[in-house]
Amino acid sequence: MRRLLIIVISALMFFSACGLFQTREEKSAQELVADGMAAYENKKYRSSIESFQKLKDWYPFSKYAILAELKIADAYFFLDEYEEAIAAYESFEALHPRNEATPYVIYQLGMSYVNQMETIDRDQLSARKAIETFNRLKRLFPNDSYSLKADGVILKATQNLVAHDFYIAEYYYRVGRYPAALLRFRSIISDYPDVGIHQKALVYIPLCEAKIAEQEAKKK
């Protein structure tokens, strides 16, 4: 009886393993990449990610594996899931720094930060990350077409940063924190290129200085 039980269990394990193997290998790398690209082209990005992830997992040494990595990142980008896209793009760049797609990947990484930029009354970490990423793209691939596109996006992110600093400086001025306001207005002039706010900041600087002088006079 015991021997029969062992045989039955062994048989079940064997057929389960066969079933798993058949499920795992039921599609070739070529079929998976075709499925992934078809889903991607039809904007079915979830299905696309699923197919490409299977390709990566089942055939990690396939010639299609690099394409799968790239398309997973792009699919997350078009799903507006930017944190996942950033992780995927960063992984691609780390693994394939000399791949011909790397300038595009860095550009898309920067755009993932741009698309997460907050309004000027919120923290501007994403704008700073975007500027840092696009400047790195220009430094590493100065003649690439994606580097040539970076300037316009850097300007957009810089405008957000400057507008944020101006918003805070104006707030400090309104509530009577004139030294803090003056420091912010001066930093706008010194730290950023003119993106249309310098003249406004220059107007406030003498106003802040006059208010500070008034406060000092009252202390005497």
Q: What is the pLDDT of residue 26?
A: 78
DSSP 8-state assignment for residue 116 = T
Residue 25 pLDDT class (50, 70, 90 cuts): low
Pair 168, 135: CB distance under 8 Å: no
Of 12-16, 89-93, 101-105, the least confident:
12-16
Give 45-58 pLDDT, tens digit per residue.
999 999 999 999 99
123 backbone φψ class: left, alpha, beta (φ>0; ψ -120 to 50): beta
Sign of CA dihedral 96, 101, 102, 105: negative
Contact 77, 111 (CB under 8 A): yes
Short-list 134, 184, 186, CA closest to 158: 134
C-alpha span between 53 and 36 (Å, rounded): 9
Q: How far apart are CA 30 and CA 71, in angstroms?
A: 15
For residues 122-126, average pLDDT: 95
Interval 74-94 mean pLDDT = 98
Residue 205 has pLDDT above 70, yes or no: yes
Residue 86 binned pLDDT confidence (cut-offs 50, 70, 90): very high
Average pLDDT over residues 193-217: 93
Joined together, the tokens standing for residue 97 give 């720094």
Cα separation, 146 vs 106, whole angstroms: 9
CA distance linking residue 91 with residue 170, whole number of Å: 41
**Average model confidence (pLDDT) for the chain?**
90
* % of the chain exceeding 90 in pLDDT: 84
CA distance linking residue 78 with residue 40, whole number of Å: 10
CA distances from 115 to 16, 79, 80, 142, 186 (A): 46, 12, 8, 23, 29
DSSP assigned state of 142: T
pLDDT band at 10 (very low <50, low <70, confident <90, very high): very low
pLDDT tens digit string along 128-182?
999 999 999 999 999 999 999 999 999 999 999 999 999 999 999 999 999 999 9
14 vs 148 pLDDT, higher one = 148
pTM, to two decimals: 0.83
